[in-house]
Structure 1
């Protein structure tokens, strides 16, 4: 995880693969433009339309986005969202990481900051999963929102050992707490081929 985090940030790839989840692209949202040109000024600029950008926009605009558009014409704050390609075409539109936490992978690293911080991050990851599924249900979004057990496949002995340490650390940290059976629930089943 640390190696991935240290990769330099770059512009998106010129010819990305098509995401399974966006094939075909949504006809209303994928290439939506609210204006033919990028505004020269804005009060708030949101970079990216993935889960973070969309969540920020949703919370800033509220549910009545048409009302916000009228307010904008009357001098209220101007919000602009910039996206390099199609809406939600980056990581959010390509995987289910926002609907599946693997907090054990980063728990030890986060614990090096502080145990309360690591627990707070793990709880946030779990709360995000619950919120994403609840949002889809509340707004009757026709998608493959599903909750249940998932599987992490580990092919490397060093990663396996790190995973076991992370799972043990998160279990110990949440032992006896109310969210022990949710945030720290990592049943182990394995086939050892190493």
Structure 2
């Protein structure tokens, strides 16, 4: 905080250099984050989450495999929706705290997406297509074919989510490293100069 005293003993509190620097860096952080378009990535994550959950409904009428018993589409879909909502909030309320929360949620989303991809691959490997014998296919064959088709779609959506979450993590991590040093600055003096007039002692 800078203070100036004039000849008539009036004291003037000038702008704090650190407060100005902090404000400038916060505006730069906001501009940098909005260049990365977290809102677009967030909307994509929410849409993918809704698609994963809605596409998984036909799996409940087929045989219960690892994907269904573990509820993979439901917890991955919810994770995608939460990660997307936090990214949308980051676009509107750009602070270091929100950035850290969004980074953490995106990292969790990426990790869970990778786990879900492994479960989908294992499930599809353990439950291969049933081959028709002598040109006659029973109902179980068609149910298995439907199940594998739905799981393939869910696998593609989850793969897209993994890529989006990883990109968002990289962008946010870069921004956090650039602006981390300014998050510890405390509030400085008021942004406008204040003039304090001494009391009249006569």
Rg larger for: 2
**Larger RCO: 1 or 2 (CA < 8 Å, sep 6+):** 2
Q: Is the shorter-chain TM-score for this pair beyond 0.5, marking a shared fold?
A: no
User: Which band: TM-score by shorter chain?
Assistant: under 0.3
Report the TM-score, using the length of structure 1 for normalisation. 0.26
Write 1 or 2 for the structure with the bigger share of helix: 2
